[in-house]
Amino acid sequence: MAVEWSGLTPEIMLQLDRGIRGTLGIQLQAALRTAIRSGRLRAGERLPSSRKLAADLGLSRGLVQGSYEQLAAEGYLTATAGGATRVALTLRQSTTARPPAGAAVDTVIDFSPGRPDLNSFPARDWLWAYGEAIRAASRRDIGYGEPAGSPRLREVLASYAQRVRAASAGSADVVVCNGFTQGVGLTLRVLREQGTTTVAVEDPGHGEMTMQVRGAGLRPVPVPVDAHGVVVDALRATAATAVILTPAHQTPTGVVLAPERRQELLRWADERDGLMIEDDYDSEFRYDRRPVGALQGLAPDRVVMIGTVSKSLGPTLRLGWILAPRRLAPAIAEEKHRNDWGTNGLDQLALARLVESGRYDAHLRRMRRAYAAKRIALTEALRQHAPHLRLTGLDAGFHAVATLPEGVDEAALVAAAARRAVRLHGMRRYRVHGTSGPPAVVLGFGDLSAYAIRSGIARVADLLQPRPD
């Protein structure tokens, strides 16, 4: 835990040489990087205010602010509006990119996919929204509430889904839930009660889906995914009358469901009287192309769309929503009521206030810039250390897939990286029954600093090289 200098403006020893070439801003940035890399400034430690450091060093405040902003963009520092500037908590203290063989490594660089930047939770905005929600709460709001969730939040979410995801839903179609896992579980149990027996899951896909389907008393069947998304001809060859999809950014390949596949899916649903369960995964974070509208908007009577704030705000909030066809929404709400009597009402009101105030959109814009910078760090690190690797899935979200050279043992690579305190995640773990496929690793970068990303790739660079014949 970092030392907290309570009630004091922290001091820091930095030396600048006005007699050498180069701008003072570049010198200041270099001095701060050195202090952080060496451990003289520790993760989580508070830095002086820009005004204080400028006065101490005889610099303009704007120059210091610019240096802080640059280091924040690189992942060395974190800052919140009105709060202190601190050394990034996820920074891996290391004087070398990869320790020599046999050397002890104190920290692990974990490229886990699906993990957002937990240091960037908008605490001030959330506290503001919570305070606003409590002040405006009525006696009814403090009670158990409706099974489907807060009417205010459902209204806000329906409007938000229409505006941002091109969905087609009203507040009566929304059921609030405790994240995606509960949302899909509620939906599957209702489908079972209405006669569904078999549900298709993407292969490769999120490993939890198969367990969720079995847990609801249904039979899962894998359906392959290619460069255009789920293969609908393979879906037709199964007995499934429902399918769980990640069309906006497929887990884990990162492909976007192609327009022609969307139309094929709609035809399959009409032919089979089927249902699509849309995991609106990573839809908030797109980079090189315009956002793709939700599948739900094309066929609201055939799609259950599930969204959450786990990636946009933080998993700990356990807040999600289900946009269901009108014929299913009441049954899902009743299943929710039987399950836990409802999600925390004040949290729901706070989320509604956060979204309608515009602060939620502002937070997403900040995070897109932050993830874009980390994405660049990953691509540049691989270009430097393993330029032969094909990197895909970078259109959205905060993970990518690196296809390994033929002959590389995926499991052995993951194990060797772990011995160097780098946690990689092989594609095999996402394949149903461990089915075969090209060796690859899934590289999550959401909760890593740019420095940690570069260090982690450098540590395992030799492991990523092609094997000699």
Q: Over its length of 469 residues, how does the chain's per-residue pLDDT go in tens digits?
A: 444 444 444 567 777 777 665 578 788 888 888 888 777 788 878 888 888 888 888 888 888 888 888 888 777 888 776 678 888 865 544 434 444 444 344 488 999 998 899 889 999 999 999 999 999 998 888 888 899 999 999 999 999 999 888 899 999 999 999 999 999 999 999 999 999 999 999 999 987 899 999 999 999 999 999 999 999 999 999 999 999 999 988 889 888 899 999 999 999 999 999 999 999 876 777 765 666 788 999 999 999 999 999 999 999 999 999 999 999 999 999 999 999 988 999 999 999 999 999 999 999 999 988 998 999 999 999 999 999 999 988 887 889 999 998 888 899 999 999 999 999 999 988 888 766 678 899 999 999 999 999 999 999 999 998 876 5
Nearest alpha carbon to residue 77 among 102, 107, 41, 25: 41
Domain boundaries, the chain: 24-87, 109-115+361-464, 123-357
Q: Verify cis geometry, omega within 30 degrees of 0, for the bond prior to 113.
A: no
For the four alpha carbons of 436, 383, 365 and 78, in that order, the dihedral sign comes to positive
Token pair belonging to 120? 């960037």
The answer to whether the predicted template modeling score (pTM) of the entire model surpasses 0.85 is: no
Q: Domain 109-115+361-464 falls in which CATH fold? A: Aspartate Aminotransferase, domain 1 (3.90.1150)
Q: Same CATH fold, 109-115+361-464 and 24-87?
A: no
Nearest alpha carbon to residue 413 among 230, 222, 405, 117: 405
CATH number, domain 123-357 = 3.40.640.10
Token pair belonging to 339? 């399950």
The residue type at 298? L
Our CA angle for 326, 330, 331, nearest 5°, is 110
Say which CATH class 24-87 falls into.
Answer: mainly alpha
